[in-house]
Amino acid sequence: MKGKGETYRIIISGGGTGGHIYPAIAIAKAWNEKYPESEVLFVGAEGKMEMQKVPEAGYKIEGLRIAGLQRRLTIENLWFPFKVLDSLQKARKLIKNFKPHLVVGVGGYASGPILFAAQRKNIPTLIQEQNSYAGLTNKILAKRADAICVAYPDMDRYFPAKKIRYTGNPVRKDILELADKREKALRHFDLDPSKPVILSIGGSLGARTLNRALLHNMDTFDKHGYQVLWQTGSFYHDEISKKVQDSGLKNIRPLEFIKDMDLAYAAATLVISRSGALSVSELSLVGKPVIFIPSPNVAEDHQTKNAMAFVSQQAAVLLKDEDAVSELAAMVHDLLQHPEKQKTLADAIKTLGKPGAAKEIVKTMENLLQ
């Protein structure tokens, strides 16, 4: 292991969704805090959101032409083998030119080729699996990986037990200290401190079911005096804003995207959310009562598995996607009328949080470099 001022070259690969990208950036920042002289290079998939988000965070990124197989027969699938070969070739070139000391894969299409190329050159590799259900790429790469950092217990169902490190998922630092932010948060969103605040988050593009459920129930929420901070997503924002405006409801606040998530969490009395890996990890640190509505449109139904890991510990409530429109209002009302239920859920979810995840992953990286 070199000293603090020494230069390491680290590749972090993967992306496709915020659930892969934000943990990757958190790992890079935690590594650079300890080894500021290090060079960190990201490798993503061309056309995916990491190609924008990573440079915004101040890091260089290279793109591969890799893409996934469509589940139905499309012309895109005919190009799949060529994209894989092209990506493997570029991955080998990146490894040869950058000469990394270590390669980290966080999942997503770009993870496969770059970890595969690094493993063939006997460069240490680390996998960071965010979900409670391991993806196919990670299961294949795990056979030759040196360490696998996971966010859930019992992951030896998918990976060799001796390689597993139970670190949790790295999240943004600003959400770790919320206790003193509530007043500022209420002012920021112009909310009434005497009324409960429901926070609904469905990702940057939005979640159709969450939006349908809130549209269907917003009159009921408003009538009860519940305030709603509603991240609609870019895809649905204009339509929802118009409907809320036409309805004249003053307690409903549709926002395309919430940039200051720490303040949104600080303001919230109750959170309604999908159960992607990043959301689940953040909410376990936020320590608020949560209703998870898992997306059914994901590989191996992993969002339901993520949510059930919390529900089984009485740390969250689950509402099925198909029941969301008809049952959301009753579930929200039940929780907001029973402060003891809110406290039980909030206390339980906090015990499952791993606030030091990024530092634990850095320690594992250091061990691989020794």
Grouping H, G, I as helix, E, B as strand and the rest as coil, residue 128 is: strand
273 labelled binding-site residue: no
Residue 4 in domain: no
To the question of whether residue 208 is assigned a binding role by annotation, the answer is no
Based on the domain organization, do 188 and 318 belong to the same domain?
Answer: yes
pLDDT in tens, 168-207: 999 888 888 888 999 999 999 999 999 999 999 986 666 8
Q: What is the DSSP letter of 300?
A: G
- Check residue 301 and give its pLDDT: 87
- pLDDT value of residue 116: 96
Is residue 87 a part of any domain in this protein?
Answer: yes
Is 18 assigned a ligand-binding role in the annotation?
yes
Question: Please, are residues 230 and 200 in contact by the beta-carbon 8 Å criterion?
Answer: yes
135 has binding-site annotation: no
Distances (CA, A) of 55 to 25, 44, 61, 63, 278: 10, 11, 7, 12, 20
Same-domain pairing of 61 and 179: no
Whether 237 and 301 share a structural domain? yes
- Give pLDDT, residue 85: 86
Q: Which residues of the chain have pLDDT under 70?
A: 1-6, 68-81, 203-206
Q: Is the same domain home to 255 and 240? A: yes
Tell me what pLDDT residue 109 has: 85
CATH at 269: 3.40.50.2000
Is 280 known to sit in a ligand binding site?
yes
Closest CA to 171 of 303, 278, 53: 278
- Same domain, yes or no: 248 and 280: yes
Question: Would 1 be classed as within a structural domain?
Answer: no
**Inside any domain, residue 136:** yes
Residue length of the chain: 370
The reply, when asked if residue 172 is annotated as ligand binding, is: yes
Residue with tokens 């590594």, as numbered in its chain:
31
> Can you give the pLDDT at residue 133?
86
In Å, how far are 206, 254, 272, 356 from 250, measured between CA atoms? 22, 11, 20, 40
Does the annotation flag 303 for ligand binding? yes
Domain that holds residue 301: 174-351
On whether 102 is known to bind a ligand per the annotation, the reply is no
Same domain, 141 and 192: no
pTM: 0.85
Claim to verify: residue 98 and residue 230 sit in the same structural domain: no
Q: Same domain for 210 and 291?
A: yes
- Rounded Cα distance between 149 and 245, Å, is 46
Specify the amino acid at residue 255. L
User: What's the confidence (pLDDT) of residue 202?
Assistant: 83
Is residue 77 a known part of a binding site? no
- Please give the structure tokens belonging to residue 286: 């936020």
Beta-carbon-side half-sphere exposure of residue 79 (alpha carbons within 13 Å): 11
Sheet strands side by side (includes 290-292): 252-255, 227-231, 197-201, 270-273, 290-292, 317-318
